[in-house]
Every structure is written in C-alpha cells, then in structure tokens.
Amino acid sequence: MWTIIKINKKNLSLLKKDFLVKLGNDVKFFIPKLKLNIFNKSKLLTKESFLLGDYILCFHKDFEKKSILSSLKYTRGLKYFLTDFLSAQDEIEKFILKCKENEDEKGFIKSSFFDFRKCKNYEFISGPFTRMIFSIINENKINLKVLIGNRMATVSKERNLFRPV
C-alpha cells in the first residue's frame, strides 16, 4: 500500500531511519525531485527541489492496518498521513510510473513530465526567466514560443521548467 505523507524536510533522514526501524526493510520511499537552475545577480545557481513540496510517497504492505499508522503517528519528521490513500492506489501508482518514465539518469524529473496546453498561464521555475508568468503561443518538440508580458520569446523545453499558475 502506498501512502502520502506530509513531512518536515529538515527531519527527512530521521523519518526514514525511524520507519526502517519500526517497519523493517520492506518500506520504500519515493521522492520525485526537480533540478532547478536559478539566476541570481548574474550567477547561475543549481538547486534541488521536491516535486511534491512537503509530501513524499511511502510503500509498505501493512499500511492498510490502522494500528500500523497509529504507531507511526508521532515519528520524528512526520506531520501527518493523508487520509483516503486506500482508494487512490491506482492514481498513486500511475503518478509514480509517469515520474519514473520522465526521470533522467540522475533521478531528476525532466521537463517532458509536464503537459503544456495553449492559452494557459505558466510560471518559470528555472532558467533566466525564473518567477515570470507566461502563456504558450506555439509548441514544437524542442521549443516553446511564449508571450511574457508584451514580449514574445522562444525557450527550450529541455533547459527550463515551468508550472501552471
């Protein structure tokens, strides 16, 4: 059973360690990551970020038992378990499969993970236009033609990451 856990990022290693002690080696964690390139005062900084923010996915065969979840409730680094994860197992597995299909060799999510639709607003989360809002005018395999304010630009899908606004 997969569950979704809200965590304290600073204590992630403690959480993993405590889960391994309490549940044994059968526990698996899935934490999709993004590699962000951010320009700050003419310097290019590379930063790792979790795709799901403060949430991670965790698998153990006994998560359907409420006694197991209640015994883990006060684990260091754990804020809470999301409810109704039992009914969302198919969606969680599809999400994990999509993430794994769109990972690079180092385990970071590639830009091919994100679906683009014309006339929607997006925000750059990496690259030279970080934190700028844009809309897509045209799309091809390699580039996007975008409208940033009143200016048109062509940006690479591979080198920039975006998210819907």
pLDDT in the model for residue 4: 92
What parts of the chain have a pLDDT lower than 70? 116-119
Residue type, 155: V
Q: 11 is written with which tokens? A: 């204590």
pLDDT in the model for residue 116: 64
Q: Where are the alpha helices (DSSP H) in 47-127?
A: 66-72, 89-101
pTM: 0.74
7, 77 contact by CB (below 8 A): yes
pLDDT in the model for residue 66: 86
Name the percent of the chain in helix, strand, coil, to the closest 5.
Answer: 25, 40, 35
| Tens-digit pLDDT profile for residues 109-148 | 887 787 766 557 888 887 778 888 888 888 888 888 888 8
pLDDT in the model for residue 46: 82
Please give the mean pLDDT across all residues of the chain. 85
For the chain, list the domains and their CATH numbers: 2-111 (3.30.70.940), 114-164 (2.30.30)
